[in-house]
Structure 1
Amino acid sequence: MIMSRTEAAPDHARGDLTERLLAGLPTEAVLTDPDVTASYANDMASFCPAGAPAVVVLPRTVEEVQHVMRTATELRVPVVPQGARTGLSGGANASDGCIVLSLTKMDRILEINPVDRIAVVEPGVINATLSRAVGEHGLYYPPDPSSWEMCTIGGNIGTASGGLCCVKYGVTAEYVLGLEVVLADGRLMTTGRRTAKGVAGYDMTRLFVGSEGSLGIVVRAVLALKPQPPQQLVLAAEFASAAAACDAVCRIMAGGHVPSLLELMDRTTVKAVNDIANMGLPETTEALLLAAFDTPDPTADLAAVGALCEEAGATQVVPADDAAESELLLQARRLSLTALEAVRGVTMIDDVCVPRSRLGDLIEGVERIADKHQLTIGVVAHAGDGNTHPTVCFDAADADESRRARESFDEIMALGLELGGTITGEHGVGVLKKEWLAREIGPVGIEMQRGIKEVFDPLGILNPGKLF
């Protein structure tokens, strides 16, 4: 039977499930201690319900994953796939009585091919580990989420994640060439290709990217690689208003420049980073724009962009002199979300993406929402592609403040849709944004997506309660 989110598996059912799993898994791969399984119940999102898993399994092989799914299908038990649980939408949260399928032990890089410029990896490979490994071959895997030192490739595929370099190099979906996927009934399916081109049949690979584990379990991925670019240099531009910084973004993109990174931090975020890391960023600024180039002559590109920033009203433009100074600026950006969480103890991180031309409208709207609800809301953004992360800071122990945080979060998503944007650029829907997915894609869209889900998962056991 499929347990509801509030109905825990009875002891006898849990025991039968465990015995069946142990028939095809080593003892150390099956965890049943309630204190241990509880630690796998949720990802890093706030305001997302999580149930109590019946068992946690940590397979190391494709065959073991197949055994788990066959068992789940026979017993009608839900399965929640997980990576490193760094997600921010509740997409990896457990449901009561489920099997948590943690893929972190499947962490082998199986192949790096410099000629074909591909890597073949298991889902538990850490993003940063892959990046460093391919770098030894003069290659580059561009998608770099802020959590790249912790997040897994499987999780990146599940949420179609992005990162700081998306403005030039694109998101995860553009680098997944092929997949091996264990379906709900345990069958193994291969999608895509290893070749640079290929259009045989429907693009099933893209269907799985961003599906949040609701259609199948990714057990192997063929990833496209790029040649390692030159070391990038970073420029920091200080502005007296967020509107001026957004104007600079528009000027840079309209001017045909292709920065490898174009990031924005508002005053609240800058202060939070200084408070947590004493980085000496200019707290007098209302917005700090970071631009980087990894071109053969980054100094010239930074000079051209610096001039555009000054035309937009930048009060100070400081290009980094070397790679070390550049990395220091990027570290400040990567610390943003951690720093904002320290402001009040808990955060709700929005993931609204709008057209670049509406970026200023979004940030101004967030300021109004923060004032209305008397909350601290910091904005950090992948400004080059319009993907903003308004981050609501609140005290979870304060019921009224928590209510205002949730209301402000929803108002920000509504604003994003009004501006022609989307409710999520890279974090996924999970539990947190289910209602908003329906608003964005409409009833016909929901009907079609549920139909696809029915084909791949007729029993509804794969990550139930997520997306819709």
Structure 2
Amino acid sequence: MADLIAALREGLDDSAVLTDPQVTAAYANDMASFCPAGAPAVVVLPRTVEEVQHVMRTATALRVPVVPQGARSGLSGAANASEGCIVLSLVKMNRVLEVNAVDRYAVVEPGVINADLARAVAEHGLSYPPDPSSWEMCTIGGNIGTGSGGLCCVKYGVTAEYVLGLDVVLADGRLLTTGRRTAKGVAGYDLTRLFVGSEGSLGIVVRAVLALKPTPPPALALAAEFPSTAAACEAVCAIMAGGHVPALLELMDNTTLKAVNAMTGMGLPESTEALLLASFDTPDPAADLAALGELCTAAGATAVVPADDAAESELLLAGRRATLVAMEKVKGTTMIDDVCVPRSRLAELIDGVAEIAARHDLVIGVVAHAGDGNTHPTVCFDASDEGECARARASFDEIMALGLELGGTITGEHGVGVLKKEWLARELGPVGMELQRAIREVFDPLGLLNPGKLF
């Protein structure tokens, strides 16, 4: 331990090397439940690429595992500390280094907050579309590590589609540059995409080149009430089959609506079984909303309420953004699943979750990025009740099994981490797992980077 600390301080300020156990304990976990974590030996907070390289060279020389972290807002345990590890927190590397309005890209450090980037590029008439629900706290490095999505991904896509290039510090301290700053490029294997979603297991992202879009017009939204989740999902299918491209298409079930109302007093319609939220940022959003509203009515909507302006639209969406905190207040602890299924199977997944909740006598609310089939069933439980904890874990696993049975995936945007290691093996199969492990070994032959995650 003394040798490790002394070696780290040779290339870092003393203030960037944290050893007090009461301080380092705060860096042990992300926001996931049921994910074990160890006690870090030390937490380091580098500010430069060279300092990250020094940390990795030290770790390699002393054979100490390294766990990279951002804001620790993840939901799979991917940022949880390993026993005796170096926690490499990148939150101090938080500069937007360049915004290029002609070539439409930004160069950023990994600790930049997603919302801060959005505000910075907005000054240039540009936007960075990926917007996870935690966008006011999550970092770009974390978004890249987990391959994050967001509310607007139905139209604009997910993080992977915006990462043009990366600077990555490898396990042995070498600096790798991948990708490009051009609009097109197919030179060699796409190592940039390989790092997106790798959860810090292949290298430490220290700089990212991100594609930007022109700022879209102000969006208008509507809310449609449905007597069943099946009817709401029928409307989703009709919208997508009809060629409509909403900027956002979100679903909240009755359990979630009640939780949001209990916390916020927003007065969302609790008599409805499902609330569908849609928005358009097209040149004529009112016309697009009218067409979408007709499809909702045809599918059985009991009410369709369009917003009159952007401010009212944001008010409609505020309830959706409040769901995570609202569901936590139901029982005190939540497990948030992240199953993504084909849109055509969305109703089967949501109805199946309701059956699982009833069978295990649990409160499970579902919100969904309905436009791309990515659901977030949220299991609410009392962490002090051992029986309820066991039922919560069992229900979580059953939901993932149902997702795979419906032709889906165990994670659409939250990642695997610790929570879903067993399920990754089930989804990929033995050949896929063999190749995944082989790729990891090429980049990290000593197994020092984020050990115990993914596999």
* Range of TM-score over shorter length: over 0.9
1:409 is matched with which residue: 391, 396, 403?
Answer: 396
Match of 2:185 in 1: 198
Match of 2:45 in 1: 58
Quote the Cα distance in structure 1 between the aligned partners of 2:330 and 2:316: 21
TM-score, normalised via structure 2 length: 1.00
The alpha-carbon deviation at position 32 of structure 1 amounts to 0.2
**Runs of 4 or more consecutive aligned structure 1 residues displaced over 2 Å after TM superposition:** none
Q: Which aligned pairs between 1:74-113 and structure 2 lie closer than 5 A?
A: 74-113=61-100
Match of 2:356 in 1: 369
The alpha-carbon deviation at position 331 of structure 1 amounts to 1.1
Cα deviations across residues 328-384 of structure 1 (Å, max 9, x unaligned)?
Answer: 111110101110011000000000000000000000100100000000000000000
Match of 1:337 in 2: 324
Quote the Cα distance in structure 1 between the aligned partners of 2:113 and 2:315: 22
2:124 is matched with which residue: 115, 123, 137?
Answer: 137
Quote the Cα distance in structure 2 between the aligned partners of 1:264 and 1:18: 49
1:163 is matched with which residue: 150, 154, 157?
Answer: 150
Match of 2:239 in 1: 252
The alpha-carbon deviation at position 148 of structure 1 amounts to 0.1
Quote the Cα distance in structure 1 between the aligned partners of 2:255 and 2:309: 27
Match of 1:450 in 2: 437
1:357 is matched with which residue: 341, 344, 362?
Answer: 344
The alpha-carbon deviation at position 16 of structure 1 amounts to 1.1
Q: Which aligned pairs between 1:156-305 and structure 2 lie closer than 5 A?
A: 156-305=143-292
Which residue identity is paired with 1:176? Answer: V
Match of 2:17 in 1: 30
Quote the Cα distance in structure 2 between the aligned partners of 1:328 and 1:460: 47
The alpha-carbon deviation at position 319 of structure 1 amounts to 0.2
Identity fraction in percent: 82
Cα deviations across residues 67-108 of structure 1 (Å, max 9, x unaligned)?
Answer: 000000000000000000000000000000000000000000
Which residue identity is paired with 2:134? Answer: S
1:380 aligns with 2:359: no
The alpha-carbon deviation at position 438 of structure 1 amounts to 0.1
Quote the Cα distance in structure 1 between the aligned partners of 2:23 and 2:432: 39
Query: What SS class does the counterpart of residue 281 from structure 1 fall into?
Result: coil
Quote the Cα distance in structure 2 between the aligned partners of 1:75 and 1:332: 49
Which residue identity is paired with 1:317? Answer: V
Quote the Cα distance in structure 1 between the aligned partners of 2:325 and 2:453: 26
Identify the range of structure 1 (331-340 vs 415-424) with the bigger mean alpha-carbon deviation: 331-340
Query: What SS class does the counterpart of residue 396 from structure 1 fall into?
Result: coil
Quote the Cα distance in structure 2 between the aligned partners of 1:215 and 1:350: 25
Query: What SS class does the counterpart of residue 27 from structure 2 fall into?
Result: coil
Quote the Cα distance in structure 1 between the aligned partners of 2:28 and 2:315: 35
Query: What SS class does the counterpart of residue 39 from structure 1 fall into?
Result: helix
1:418 aligns with 2:405: yes
Count residues in correspondence: 455
Match of 1:152 in 2: 139
Query: What SS class does the counterpart of residue 158 from structure 1 fall into?
Result: helix
1:434 is matched with which residue: 407, 421, 425?
Answer: 421
What residue ranges of structure 1 are gaps of 5+ in the alignment? 1-13
Task: Name the Cα RMSD after superposition.
Answer: 0.3
Quote the Cα distance in structure 1 between the aligned partners of 2:319 and 2:35: 28
Match of 2:26 in 1: 39
The alpha-carbon deviation at position 175 of structure 1 amounts to 0.1
TM-score, normalised via structure 1 length: 0.97
